[in-house]
């Protein structure tokens, strides 16, 4: 008995096109915002095309704001403009809360376009389990070009140096933080094309009886006065991330 597929099937030879067998690639070609790091199962994502109603914010200082903007965008026509206050250390933060479908490795990806100003940018994941809060945060400092992870005992510890991010209106840098709430460890951080192994690093864990949920957050802390803010876009939250 013959085996295989018909001549018109998926393995048929073609001269000007190539067969597409990966549904993830199909979604990417159709305009999905999940194109940079496709690991993990998506549980929530936002491209700011419908405004900022899905987000909460903590805005400190005169002039601090968060609003939808059409001035820059990674995909689509809209991003979020996150602006701190006019003074040094006037932080601005956005956050989103959601349920945890399963306790597995969790990921938080966000892309950011920055001006040529000194600042600290941070990606954060908070996991509430009803008894404790696991606080994970990775920071990038433009003044020293370092990446740091937050530790409750040690503060912020460098794990990469010489990290300079180009300031350009058409360029969005993509960062993705992955953590493991089961082992109560960081897992990894990916910035653009480089992945850093953080699986031996311990986050800050404190007693907190808040009901179980997941909180992801992004923050800008200016290191100069009267900064213009950063543009954020294409946020993706995942579960079942690989090791």
Alpha helices in the chain (DSSP H): 23-29
Q: Is the pLDDT of residue 182 over 70?
A: yes
| pLDDT cut 70: percent of the chain above it | 91
Rounded CA gap, 136 and 194, in Å? 19
Nearest to 119 by CA among 233, 227, 232: 227
pLDDT in tens, 154-175: 789 999 999 999 999 999 999 9
Residue showing tokens 């194109």: 35
What ranges do the domains of the chain cover?
40-239
According to CATH, what is the number of the domain 40-239? 2.60.120.200
Q: Is the pLDDT of residue 3 over 70?
A: no
pLDDT in tens, 187-201: 999 999 999 999 999
pLDDT band at 22 (very low <50, low <70, confident <90, very high): confident
């Amino acid at each position: 008995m013959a085996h295989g597929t018909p001549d018109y099937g998926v393995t048929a030879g073609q001269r000007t096109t190539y067969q597409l067998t990966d549904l993830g690639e199909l979604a990417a070609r159709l305009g999905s915002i999940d194109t940079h790091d496709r690991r993990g199962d998506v549980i929530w994502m936002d491209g700011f095309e419908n405004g900022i109603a899905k987000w909460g914010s903590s805005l400190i200082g005169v002039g601090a704001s968060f609003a939808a903007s059409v001035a820059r965008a990674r995909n689509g026509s809209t991003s979020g403009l996150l602006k701190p206050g006019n003074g040094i250390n006037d932080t601005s933060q956005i956050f989103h809360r959601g349920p945890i479908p399963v306790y597995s490795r969790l990921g938080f990806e966000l892309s950011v376009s920055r001006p040529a100003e000194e600042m600290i940018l941070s990606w954060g994941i908070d996991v509430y389990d009803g008894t404790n809060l696991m606080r994970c945060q990775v920071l990038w400092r433009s003044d020293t070009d370092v990446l740091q992870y937050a530790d409750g005992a040690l503060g912020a510890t460098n794990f990469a140096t010489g990290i300079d991010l180009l300031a350009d209106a058409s360029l969005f840098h993509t960062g993705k933080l992955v953590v493991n709430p089961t082992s109560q460890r960081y897992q990894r951080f990916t910035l653009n094309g480089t992945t850093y192994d953080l699986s031996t690093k311990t986050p800050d864990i404190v007693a907190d009886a808040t009901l179980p949920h997941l909180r992801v957050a992004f923050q800008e802390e200016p290191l100069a006065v009267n900064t213009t803010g950063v543009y954020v876009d294409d946020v993706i939250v995942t579960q079942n991330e690989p090791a």
